[in-house]
Structure 1
């Protein structure tokens, strides 16, 4: 996370645009009717451009909200007010629950070339993916977050289907 946090604000914005453009041009994004995005915290890859593109294309966008040990996605409109939830993450109000996500965008601290990721240690995305509430999971990262050696993976960890960086998309 230190490497990601060391990125200059301009680099974060520029690289985030490239990541989002890669996702927007993917067949998974094009085919999805419901996108599970996230509101970035700190130096995470930005998502506003993707949310805007999805809304312009008539797609439903949902953002996560943590509720105890569970993470649920609620429909989001750009005019909706977000509130600071657990862990300082901006979350939607629990109004319009979305049961299934076609494409869920996943943040993380580190990623490997086999689809493994290190998140923030609570397992929210792993549980969400393992419960089958998403058809396709795609991590969003800067290339500096990719490690060449495999990341440790436990029995509860779930691999991603793909990883998007400023250099394009890797499929697993």
Structure 2
């Protein structure tokens, strides 16, 4: 379904989360598809000392496979440098942003409200994208798509002023 969406087809720079086993929609087939089709792919890097995640570019499937597993979340995470350690990875926020970002969540509403994992990484990152899109010419806010299992879709969620509403939710019925 995702691959048929016009915004996905047209996107050149895509951010996507790397899924936690069984708890989230598996994004590895999406990552592989994007890399095989020449899209620039950016994945999150979390740091315990920094409340703002980075979305760093990975250039190939081999680059993904060589990424170390972050022990706290048990997901792969890019190092600050590329796979052969020769250059610093490209950070999406510092290089004109993204066209589209796939956003994880514990729960979603059909109207785009999202309950994350409680650290606020994506909300902070998307709020910074919004700020940059309002202050820097040619910097645009990405389309946001949440991927969910049907049991993650609920009617209502509590929100606050920092929560970012997602543009579109895709889930199996």
Query: What TM-score do the two structures reach when normalised by structure 1?
Result: 0.79
What is the CA–CA distance in structure 2 between the aligned matches of 1:47 and 1:82, rounded to whole Å? 16
Runs of 4+ in 1 over 4 A off after TM superposition: none
> Matches of 1:161 and 1:101 in 2, distance apart?
14
Contact between 1:129 and 1:137, CA under 8 Å: does it hold in 2?
A: no
Map of 2:8 onto structure 1: 29
Instruction: Render the CA deviation track for 1:86-143: whole Å, top value 9, x for unaligned.
Output: 4333211112123211111111111112211111100000011111175111101011
Aligned residues: 145
Could you tell me which residue of structure 1 aligns to residue 75 of structure 2?
Answer: 89
* Partner residue in 1 for 2:170: 164
Runs of 5+ unmatched residues, structure 2: 82-88, 131-140
Which residue is equivalent to 2:32?
Answer: 52
Match of 2:91 among 98, 112, 119: 98
Unaligned runs of 5+ in 1: 1-21, 168-172
**Normalised by the size of structure 2, how large is the TM-score?**
0.78
What SS does the corresponding residue of 1:71 show, helix, strand or coil?
strand
Q: 1:61 aligns with which of 35, 38, 41?
A: 41
Give me the whole-angstrom Cα distance separating, in 2, the residues matched to 1:23 and 1:98: 24
Alignment of 1:131 with 2:128, yes or no, is: yes
